[in-house]
Structure 1
């Protein structure tokens, strides 16, 4: 129940309400951890995680934190597990540390890179002996540290997350091993693995793998213990320790100290010696090791294959760091033969009756084993102990207090256990990602994982949304509407890797230049047997159309989000033959995989300096929101909303956000068509004039054509779609609450469609007269998700006005993505600007900071502009952009109308890849050509996420300007039919004040 959150305060302080609601959500997962008897001298019991709330959530969900981290923690120790306190405010963290002891402090690097460095100095000043780790989000953060030469000496260690939460387990264990090893050597026989590696990226990959091997060893030890194994497990104190050294001197010191217990060495070839990176440090260290032991197993790993010979000369194994099987090779080297025990059902005499390897098998066996076996295990408390060992904490908590004498007979014990397991299973899966199981029900309240691997940016966002929605009672906050998510499944990135390797597509990717041939070869490939089998079962549970959406590692992620670069396919899913539907789905999956290597994607990756081979693709499979009307399927409303409004009007504030909605499928909105824009805070205020509202009113919409039962997906994303006229929607009865009528006599727009006259899509019944609380729903969700991400966000949604569930209409949250590039800390003091140096001035701009790498301007010649020739202009700018890309030169792009519009008559209909090397973009109006800003579209999202300056200049403004006279005098590099490319020899400087939304382009550096 969320009523204790003082809902009366929502209107007054949405941000504070959102923060408290999310903190409650974080606490729910992090504070409900049992701490058991501690067998070892030092255990990390209390961890302080300092991160924005979305990062904290991502750690939990992306790697299935409870399953993979704490579950593994139980399996290894069966004793104690750390409690994690998540906090987002640095000052609150320092206050908390004064009141409570934490064994480990983890600072996560978010969008503000300075915070962890400033905070750790304060921590070390006040708490010098506390272990402080820095956790980087991904390899981009590693590059950021290196490029900015930021010292990490204040941190005890730096790690990279990269979406795998097992790094947390490794971080904790590494600290424990370092602290415990002296004691454990004295207590008994213990072994150690020495890893010598200075690269944050690589040891963050190696350590989870090594600890996984150690985990497997402990599991097999447990299996080998006889009859009363669950009690004997508690006596297993020793396990191999892992020691990490990052320099030559540290490696020598560690080896000298612990050489008696080191069982193998894994060493990089190149790492620091005497304070400098030394290419032969690894070989010299191994030579030192060999003086002590000729036979000690040693593995040398290096990116330089020529080091193989040196390794062999030292009787060491060699693996190449660039090898795709690096971790498998590492696993093969460090081979252990121990593992976790299964539950063995026995008679009172100890005779084995059955073995349960999984919870599913345990539940099945529990239904049929004899009464005497139930009694035998209950007396010994085996059930709760086994549950605890497996990380099934809640079940163990409930069952442990009960004794056999609390029940009348064994049948009661059996029924009690089965009920607890079933109830917990339902609760556990609510708002979570559930591994595929033939018996698992596909519900809105959970997400089915059809294949292992990372979820990708979009998948992670959806998982977060799902957890939010199904763990809070939103009806207390926004009554009168259901807030839901569509039925969703996710295919993890492992299938993408498998598909590429199995079908030998790497060479195709490298050498094939014809994208159509690439697509065909992908379609001809085969998916894994397990996935195909699961897809068929999935299709038996889905009767509505389905969407196959991309979810790459970068897409919609917090560090480098982008949108619309990859493909999405909508399938009618109504062919009578399930095998045909299965084939359609598989083709769509393969085509989304292929879209990673499209020309558009390649251009994007080149623009952000990202290796395309590092990108991996997960997929999201969603039931499409909507209903069937005649032969067409679509929702009443689709839309996007952003928590930051870059172009507010009147008394609206940027942080209050805005929303854009339309009738029909969401493609119409994200492609930048004619939509209706409103403020979630002030939905009754008209954003546009009467004239503009009529002119920009939606006239068409997208739907899925259900008569195309077997669409040819090779035609592209629109193969199953139909573009319909508004009159079709009126015939379907879907305009009732969405449209109004323009009365020419009174020059007014009247809500509803009872009168004859032009239909205007302004959603007046919904926004002005609150037929449903759409604006409030959007406002509340934007506030909560923005707080969770720690940055501005965009959401996509759909609305079904039909009153079905709870006799209420439903709002479906489809996806969330971060918006970057909205910082507001750069200040422009206009009084200090030399007016003669101003080339361009805009009062409605987006971006923040200073750009001084531009000397070139490519602009549409105003005297040549013709809005009927914008397709030709698109081709010209694409060629000019390609030339600039080849020269690695950024440029300023200027043109009339709306960049990225799908309506070629209101702007130049480019896609992002066609102007990807522009570092600043200007939209301008002309005397007879008004400007409608590019908001709510994939194009606009990519501009914001790339940190590209984005300005509008109005023709009739008294203050905004472009100095055409100066532009015309510059050195002309190239002229096309419609464009001029000129160069300023003295260079240009772009300055952007995000808070005031002012921007200038100044001549000179």
Structure 2
């Protein structure tokens, strides 16, 4: 493709230090508009004849992406082709998807990641995998019964009796896009395979709060991907085995029935996990693949459910998983005086045993952030990115980033909208449940965001100040001398700047320590400064 379009010289310029980003910007645009060689187009026509009008997924499959140690999770695109229309229209859609995946090799996020991993000088051949989408038709909609991601090592054991070697799933109904991405307003079902009934981040008083509400499907009539509410899709797809993936909320259903509404389903996957061999099949699959790779693995899968719930699982991707293993045992103090404590939690952290001295803290104030306009909230993300890029290396200035809701959400009302390239030099990121603002951390295990954290060695903490065992003192470092505070650039909007505090904490001795066995984590001063 590159040679056919006369871009090889430009690619060589892009591989130089001065052209790494500058040349990539124009290449990224042109790669989406080039011409495929005629012999390739003929092969694509034959492939479309073979598939017929079944939907197709165009997946990236690069040399570095599929190797050990560099999973590139989410850096390169995968594109759904609903594959409807005349043969000429279907070929045009497929070619556009191929060009889009090729162009993603020159995206800023991918370039930053490659440089961070010391791979900027390595050749990155991009192959493509064209897969028929696993699923079935429900009228105008096409979708698998359920889908998800699985990892053979559970590094987010939120209870001390969970077995990390048992593996974990992130499970959704419909297309698996909601399993690999942190979707605003929705939660995948996280399953610890040794104890599938155990629920993380679940408020016992509101069992539906952290469940999936929307489902991604392919709309055959409109020839595009689409998102529907579960309650919308259920009556339109009567043979969809929702009863194996969800439970009827009887109280809510009674209320809606009185108003002429449809039954209310809560996507919990409890019937599937408790009454079928689904969990055992996935656990056996993960163990088999890990043994074959001689390395922990990360998979994507879909499942077809028979009328009696019997699952047929399709493995659609497997790649090595970069894991954060536990270090030596960490000794935590039994008690810490409140004036020396920034925050503490039991469970809800990731990264194994941790003993990390901190040099800097970047904090986004939830109250002030919530009062900003939508434009200003995006500006907060850019400001965080500015401070991130100002860090030389993680080792030289280990930094804690803490803020409300979900880092990386595309909806600023649910958290600060950033790309991973905006936080890639942090040592620790923390997400805080800001109850009043409605911003809640999302368990990111198994998502692309999780993979970024794992591969980069960034520890993760979720704080729920209203829950037992969680303590949070957001005013802790505001009591430090003014000289410790680092100002935003002079041209920063005043309200945006006021919502982001950056403090040098080296003089305080602040450190983050965690014991994965006790499931305790502290961010504290070991001694008085």
**Range into which the TM-score falls when normalised by the shorter chain:** 0.7 to 0.9
1:555 to 48, 51, 65: 65
Q: Which residue of 2 aligns with 1:828?
A: 330
Q: Which residue of 1 aligns with 2:78?
A: 568
The alpha-carbon deviation at position 516 of structure 1 amounts to 7.8
1:584 to 82, 89, 93: 93
Q: Which residue of 2 aligns with 1:678?
A: 191
Q: Which residue of 2 aligns with 1:42?
A: none
Q: Which residue of 2 aligns with 1:743?
A: 250
The alpha-carbon deviation at position 569 of structure 1 amounts to 0.8
* Structure with the larger helix share: 1
Superposed, which structure 2 residues align to 1:329-348 within 5 Å?
none
Residues 808 and 500 (structure 1), Cα distance of their counterparts in 2 relative to 1, 3 Å cut? farther
2:351 to 828, 847, 872: 847
Question: Gaps spanning 5+ residues in structure 1: where?
Answer: 1-494, 710-719, 748-754
Superposed, which structure 2 residues align to 1:618-637 within 5 Å?
618-637=127-146
Kindly indicate whether the alpha-carbon contact (under 8 Å) linking 1:569 and 1:588 is maintained by their aligned counterparts in 2: yes
DSSP 3-state at the match of 2:174: coil
For 2:96 and 2:479, how far apart are their aligned partners in 1? 54
Superposed, which structure 2 residues align to 1:174-185 within 5 Å?
none
The alpha-carbon deviation at position 568 of structure 1 amounts to 1.0
DSSP 3-state at the match of 1:702: strand
For 1:511 and 1:652, how far apart are their aligned partners in 2? 45
DSSP 3-state at the match of 1:944: helix
Q: Which residue of 2 aligns with 1:774?
A: 278
Superposed, which structure 2 residues align to 1:366-445 within 5 Å?
none
Residues 723 and 872 (structure 1), Cα distance of their counterparts in 2 relative to 1, 3 Å cut? farther
Q: Which residue of 1 aligns with 2:117?
A: 608
Kindly indicate whether the alpha-carbon contact (under 8 Å) linking 2:381 and 2:416 is maintained by their aligned counterparts in 1: no
Superposed, which structure 2 residues align to 1:602-751 within 5 Å?
602-611=111-120, 614-645=123-154, 646-649=156-159, 651-673=161-183, 674-684=187-197, 688-689=202-203, 691-709=205-223, 720-726=224-230, 727-733=232-238, 734=240, 735-744=242-251
DSSP 3-state at the match of 1:614: coil
Kindly indicate whether the alpha-carbon contact (under 8 Å) linking 1:870 and 1:909 is maintained by their aligned counterparts in 2: no
CA offsets, 1:373-407, max 9 Å, x none? xxxxxxxxxxxxxxxxxxxxxxxxxxxxxxxxxxx
TM-score by length of 2: 0.80
For 1:668 and 1:737, how far apart are their aligned partners in 2? 19
For 1:647 and 1:848, how far apart are their aligned partners in 2? 9
Kindly indicate whether the alpha-carbon contact (under 8 Å) linking 1:867 and 1:905 is maintained by their aligned counterparts in 2: no
Kindly indicate whether the alpha-carbon contact (under 8 Å) linking 1:867 and 1:906 is maintained by their aligned counterparts in 2: no
The alpha-carbon deviation at position 808 of structure 1 amounts to 6.9
The alpha-carbon deviation at position 828 of structure 1 amounts to 0.9
For 2:226 and 2:366, how far apart are their aligned partners in 1? 36
Q: Which residue of 2 aligns with 1:34?
A: none
For 2:221 and 2:10, how far apart are their aligned partners in 1? 34
Superposed, which structure 2 residues align to 1:206-225 within 5 Å?
none
2:316 to 811, 814, 822: 814
Kindly indicate whether the alpha-carbon contact (under 8 Å) linking 2:142 and 2:219 is maintained by their aligned counterparts in 1: yes
- 1:913 paired to 2:417: no
- 1:534 paired to 2:43: yes
CA offsets, 1:606-662, max 9 Å, x none? 333431663332222111111222222211111122233313337433332322222
DSSP 3-state at the match of 1:694: coil
2:485 to 972, 994, 997: 972
Residues 848 and 758 (structure 1), Cα distance of their counterparts in 2 relative to 1, 3 Å cut? closer
Structure scoring higher RCO (CA < 8 A, sep ≥ 6) equals 2
Kindly indicate whether the alpha-carbon contact (under 8 Å) linking 2:297 and 2:319 is maintained by their aligned counterparts in 1: yes
Residues 878 and 499 (structure 1), Cα distance of their counterparts in 2 relative to 1, 3 Å cut? farther
For 1:503 and 1:705, how far apart are their aligned partners in 2? 38
For 2:109 and 2:153, how far apart are their aligned partners in 1? 27
Kindly indicate whether the alpha-carbon contact (under 8 Å) linking 1:567 and 1:592 is maintained by their aligned counterparts in 2: yes
Kindly indicate whether the alpha-carbon contact (under 8 Å) linking 2:166 and 2:193 is maintained by their aligned counterparts in 1: yes
Kindly indicate whether the alpha-carbon contact (under 8 Å) linking 2:296 and 2:323 is maintained by their aligned counterparts in 1: no
DSSP 3-state at the match of 1:765: helix
For 1:868 and 1:652, how far apart are their aligned partners in 2? 40
Kindly indicate whether the alpha-carbon contact (under 8 Å) linking 2:82 and 2:225 is maintained by their aligned counterparts in 1: no
The alpha-carbon deviation at position 858 of structure 1 amounts to 0.7
For 1:580 and 1:670, how far apart are their aligned partners in 2? 29
- 1:793 paired to 2:297: yes
Kindly indicate whether the alpha-carbon contact (under 8 Å) linking 2:55 and 2:80 is maintained by their aligned counterparts in 1: yes
Kindly indicate whether the alpha-carbon contact (under 8 Å) linking 1:821 and 1:848 is maintained by their aligned counterparts in 2: no
The alpha-carbon deviation at position 598 of structure 1 amounts to 0.9
For 2:295 and 2:519, how far apart are their aligned partners in 1? 18
Kindly indicate whether the alpha-carbon contact (under 8 Å) linking 1:864 and 1:978 is maintained by their aligned counterparts in 2: yes
CA offsets, 1:301-328, max 9 Å, x none? xxxxxxxxxxxxxxxxxxxxxxxxxxxx
Residues 899 and 729 (structure 1), Cα distance of their counterparts in 2 relative to 1, 3 Å cut? same
Between 639-648 and 624-633, report the one with greater CA deviation. Answer: 639-648
DSSP 3-state at the match of 1:695: coil
The alpha-carbon deviation at position 980 of structure 1 amounts to 0.9
Q: Which has the larger radius of gyration?
A: 1
The alpha-carbon deviation at position 817 of structure 1 amounts to 3.1
The alpha-carbon deviation at position 745 of structure 1 amounts to 8.4
CA offsets, 1:536-570, max 9 Å, x none? 32222112111111122332532122311111111
Kindly indicate whether the alpha-carbon contact (under 8 Å) linking 1:643 and 1:783 is maintained by their aligned counterparts in 2: yes
1:761 to 267, 276, 280: 267
For 2:79 and 2:253, how far apart are their aligned partners in 1? 45
For 2:143 and 2:279, how far apart are their aligned partners in 1? 21
Q: Which residue of 1 aligns with 2:104?
A: 595
1:894 to 402, 412, 421: 402
Q: Which residue of 1 aligns with 2:503?
A: 982
For 2:43 and 2:147, how far apart are their aligned partners in 1? 30
Kindly indicate whether the alpha-carbon contact (under 8 Å) linking 1:826 and 1:992 is maintained by their aligned counterparts in 2: no
- 1:923 paired to 2:431: yes
Q: CA RMSD in A?
A: 3.6
Q: Which residue of 2 aligns with 1:236?
A: none
The alpha-carbon deviation at position 758 of structure 1 amounts to 1.8
The alpha-carbon deviation at position 902 of structure 1 amounts to 5.0
The alpha-carbon deviation at position 597 of structure 1 amounts to 1.0
The alpha-carbon deviation at position 983 of structure 1 amounts to 1.2
- 1:858 paired to 2:362: yes
For 2:222 and 2:514, how far apart are their aligned partners in 1? 49
DSSP 3-state at the match of 2:131: strand
Between 973-982 and 504-513, report the one with greater CA deviation. Answer: 504-513
The alpha-carbon deviation at position 533 of structure 1 amounts to 3.4
Q: Which residue of 1 aligns with 2:454?
A: 944
Residues 997 and 504 (structure 1), Cα distance of their counterparts in 2 relative to 1, 3 Å cut? farther
For 1:596 and 1:818, how far apart are their aligned partners in 2? 20
Kindly indicate whether the alpha-carbon contact (under 8 Å) linking 1:898 and 1:933 is maintained by their aligned counterparts in 2: no
DSSP 3-state at the match of 2:137: strand
For 1:647 and 1:849, how far apart are their aligned partners in 2? 12
The alpha-carbon deviation at position 964 of structure 1 amounts to 3.2
Residues 741 and 629 (structure 1), Cα distance of their counterparts in 2 relative to 1, 3 Å cut? same
For 2:320 and 2:520, how far apart are their aligned partners in 1? 23
Q: Which residue of 1 aligns with 2:494?
A: none
Superposed, which structure 2 residues align to 1:9-28 within 5 Å?
none
The alpha-carbon deviation at position 843 of structure 1 amounts to 3.2
Kindly indicate whether the alpha-carbon contact (under 8 Å) linking 2:137 and 2:143 is maintained by their aligned counterparts in 1: yes
